[in-house]
Each structure stands twice: as C-alpha cells, then as structure tokens.
Amino acid sequence: MQSTFPTVTVLGIPFVKTTAANFIAVLQQRIMQKQSTFVVTANPEIVMYAHNHTDYHDLLQNADFVTPDGIGILDGAKILKQPLPERITGFDTLQALLKWGSDQHRSAYFVGAKPAVIDQLRTLLPQQYPGLNIVGLHDGYFQDDDEVVSDIQRTQPDMVFAALGFPKQEQFIRAHRHVTKGLWMGVGGSFDVLAGAVDRAPQFWQDHHLEWFYRTVKEPKRLKRIAVIPHYLRLVRQQAKRTRPRG
C-alpha cells in the first residue's frame, strides 16, 4: 500500500484521492511509526475561508493530508473532471480511530467543546472505548494555550483531537504539533455529536447526500455554511475553464 496519495486540487487546496478505509489504514500506520501527522477535513466553507484568508490557506498547505469532508468537495472535483471516490469525514475518521485505538490500546487527548460536553465524554468515552488510554480531556474555552499544550507534551498521546471549530483548531495544531510525534486532527463539532448533544442525520439522509439539509433544519446557524456553496461552485467552474486542455 502507498503511504501517500495522489491529490485533486480544488481552489488551491489539495485533497487526498483515496477511500476512507485506505486513508484510515495509512493514519494507523503513521501512528504506529510515530510519524507526526496533521489532518484537516475540509468542506466548501473551509475552502472558501482559505480562498479569502492567505494565512489560513498557507496553514492548510502545511497539513500532511486534507480530506474531502462534504459533498460539495466531491461536486467540485467532478466539475474539474477529476472525481474523488468518496467523502472522508472528520466524524467518521474520529470514530474509526477511537475504535482502533481501543482495540490496540493506543492513547488519545481530547481538546475542545464546552465544559458540559467534556464532562459527558469523561463518562461516555471509557464505556464506548474501554481499551483506549484517554490521557486528557480539556474543554475548548481557554485563554492561554500553555496549560493544555504542556499537558499534551507531558502525556505524549498517539492522537490529539481538537474540536475548536475552524480556523481555530487548525491554528492550534499548526502552532503546537511539534510537541508530540503523534496524529493531530481538527474535528469541528464532533465532540458534541459524540456526547449526543447534536444528532447526526439518520442514515436515510446520509445515504441521499442530504445530511447538510437535515443538520441545517435542526441548526439554522449552519445556513451560513450552505450560503457559500453557489459562490464556491462558480469559482470551481472558473478553475475548470482555466485548466481545461485546449484543442
């Protein structure tokens, strides 16, 4: 198996072209080899934010892997005539790594979400992932990174999951990933979902690529995420025109 992947570049962001299963297998291999790894799972809102913020764009270039989290990225790749096989979501990747981490007795550090969510995870995670060595759980509302970072440095987790929302989680990872040789991944609102504070869409909605619709109806603040899609698709079509071979 290859340890790196071909990529498809959508508005300057290189997305890994592989299946979720392959991707997770490579992450596991890198964790076992203590190879420092920074994973970003990006949707069109993140791509557009990077398009408008050079610093964040540069930061994404610094990640080892950017995965297509969101059907809009798959649509973009199709417009570019370089289709990607499937979505690789932050939540699914997190769950797969926690299950594997439990089976293989790996260690994990969780930083992010509200204190009440972290309190729930303190009870739930050991029940759901009994073999996982949970070396730290910290909410995401701290003023100063130092305490959390020195905790991560002291505990040297195999995996650090940062649920601070973007761009904060990627900025946090970029600034501190050097303190361990583990995997660092930004997972957005995933801790809220793990704790049951937010529902994932039922399977029907997921199967019909309508998870975004379900989530938006339940959480109208997500409308802003969807609002960027027409502009995003317009820019991708422009990219397709520019890169289409002449003749």
Q: Which is nearer to ligand UDP, 56 or 166 (CB)?
A: 166
Residue with smallest beta-carbon separation from ligand UDP:
140
Q: Work out how close the CB of 139 gets to ligand UDP at its nearest, in angstroms, rounded to a whole number.
A: 6
Residue position matching structure tokens 């071909």? 6
Q: Work out how close the CB of 169 gets to ligand UDP at its nearest, in angstroms, rounded to a whole number.
A: 7
The residues of the shown chain that bind ligand UDP, judged by CB under 6 A, are 112-114, 140-141, 163-166, 168, 188-189, 191-192
Which 3-state string (H, E, C) describes the chain? CCCCCCEEEECCEEEECCCHHHHHHHHHHHHHCCCCEEEEEECHHHHHHHHHCHHHHHHHHCCCEEEECCHHHHHHHHHCCCCCCCCCCHHHHHHHHHHHHHHCCCEEEEEECCHHHHHHHHHHHHHHCCCCEEEEEECCCCCCCHHHHHHHHHHCCCEEEEECCCCHHHHHHHHHHHHCCCEEEECCCHHHHHCCCCCCCCHHHHHCCCHHHHHHHHCHHHHHHHHCHHHHHHHHHHHHHHHCCCC
Q: Which is nearer to ligand UDP, 101 or 189 (CB)?
A: 189
Q: Which is nearer to ligand UDP, 112 or 182 (CB)?
A: 112
Q: Work out how close the CB of 172 gets to ligand UDP at its nearest, in angstroms, rounded to a whole number.
A: 10
Q: Work out how close the CB of 154 gets to ligand UDP at its nearest, in angstroms, rounded to a whole number.
A: 21
Residues 46 and 225: their CA atoms lie apart, in Å, by: 9
Q: Work out how close the CB of 113 gets to ligand UDP at its nearest, in angstroms, rounded to a whole number.
A: 4
Q: Which is nearer to ligand UDP, 103 or 119 (CB)?
A: 119
* Cβ pair 37, 65 in contact under 8 A: yes
Q: Which is nearer to ligand UDP, 44 or 188 (CB)?
A: 188
Q: Work out how close the CB of 193 gets to ligand UDP at its nearest, in angstroms, rounded to a whole number.
A: 9
